[in-house]
């Protein structure tokens, strides 16, 4: 049975999450402080950890930093505010997803499923590889989506490549600038928006049934694979 560890010091929230996750067929465990959670994960790692940021004894960020030094263990951070996500992204801690409070438990279950699906096999897609639907041929700068050629500019190609290597992970504009643009490029974060807009249009033309790029208001963008 898939085991989810909930690390949360607010017992009401933890208990609602436990109910929903159990109902969705997961085995759950609850720990209320960061230090115990880290010990528990190291001793016997669950399949995924829902990790609150503000915790007694050791905060969620310190726990994640320790974990990331040695493992790609799937972690979804629970944060108090949407504004905080931007700061967390800036720290490049490598959470697999972020959920802002207040959240609906249903949303949490959906995100848990999505993260488990994409971390179940290989953790990150290597360069030039493909998701189920998207094929990126780096040698020829050619991309196809569900068999349809996308005719991307190099810039759009690199943006899509950066996003698609970690489906579901949210990238800030600043991170995309670093990943998809050369340092010599004199571009602003606004340029990212306009390239994303064009990229979206091309993805939608090739495969309109799904919204491939998710905008997270005030934070950034992620590449979303369609549900199975």
Residues that bind Ca ion (CB under 5 A): 9, 52, 54
**CB of 59 vs Ca ion, minimal distance in Å:** 9
Distance in Å, CB of 219 to Ca ion, minimum: 20
Query: What minimum distance in Å lies between the beta carbon of 76 and Ca ion?
Result: 14
Q: How far is CA 197 from CA 65, 129, 203, 208, in A?
A: 33, 24, 10, 15
Q: Tokens 């802002």 correspond to what residue? A: 100
CA distances from residue 165 to 2, 130, 161, 210 in whole angstroms, order as listed? 25, 9, 6, 18
Residue nearer to Ca ion on the CB measure, 52 or 96: 52
Tally of CB atoms within 10 A around 121: 7
Output the DSSP codes for 157-223.
Answer: HHHHHHHHTSTT--EEHHHHHHHHS-TT----HHHHHHHHHHHHHHHHHH-TTS--EEEETTTEEEE
Nearer of residues 59 and 66 to Ca ion, judged by Cβ = 59
DSSP, residue by residue, 120-162: SS-SSPPTT-B-SSEEEETTTTEEEETTEE----HHHHHHHHH
Shortest Å, Cβ 9 to Ca ion: 5
* Minimum CB distance to Ca ion smaller for 32 or for 129: 32
Joined together, the tokens standing for residue 77 give 């951070």
Which CB atom, from 37 or from 196, has the smaller least distance to Ca ion?
37
Question: Which CB atom, from 12 or from 186, has the smaller least distance to Ca ion?
Answer: 12
Closest approach of Ca ion to the CB of residue 65, in Å: 17
Residue nearest to Ca ion (CB): 54
Q: Rounded to the nearest whole angstrom, what is the least distance from the CB of residue 73 to Ca ion in the complex?
A: 20
Cβ-based nearer residue to Ca ion, 50 or 180: 50
């Amino acid at each position: 049975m898939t085991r989810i560890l909930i690390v949360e010091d607010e017992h009401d929230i933890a208990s609602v999450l436990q109910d929903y996750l159990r109902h969705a067929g997961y085995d759950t465990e609850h720990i209320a402080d960061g230090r115990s959670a880290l010990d528990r994960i190291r001793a016997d790692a669950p399949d995924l950890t829902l990790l609150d940021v503000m915790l007694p004894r050791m905060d969620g960020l310190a726990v994640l930093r320790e974990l990331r030094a040695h493992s790609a263990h799937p972690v979804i951070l629970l944060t108090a505010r949407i504004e905080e996500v931007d700061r967390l992204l800036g720290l490049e801690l490598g959470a697999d997803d972020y959920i802002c409070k207040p959240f609906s438990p249903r949303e949490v279950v959906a995100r848990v499923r999505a993260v488990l699906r994409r971390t179940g096999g290989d953790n990150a897609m290597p360069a030039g590889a493909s998701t189920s639907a998207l094929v990126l041929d780096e040698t020829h700068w050619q991309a196809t989506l569900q068999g349809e050629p996308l005719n991307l500019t190099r810039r759009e190609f690199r943006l899509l490549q950066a996003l698609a290597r970690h489906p579901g992970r949210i990238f800030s504009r600043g991170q995309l600038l670093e990943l998809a643009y050369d340092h010599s490029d004199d571009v602003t974060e606004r340029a990212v928006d306009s390239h994303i807009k064009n990229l979206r249009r091309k993805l939608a033309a090739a495969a309109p049934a799904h919204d491939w790029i998710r905008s997270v208001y005030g934070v950034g963008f992620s590449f979303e694979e369609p549900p199975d």
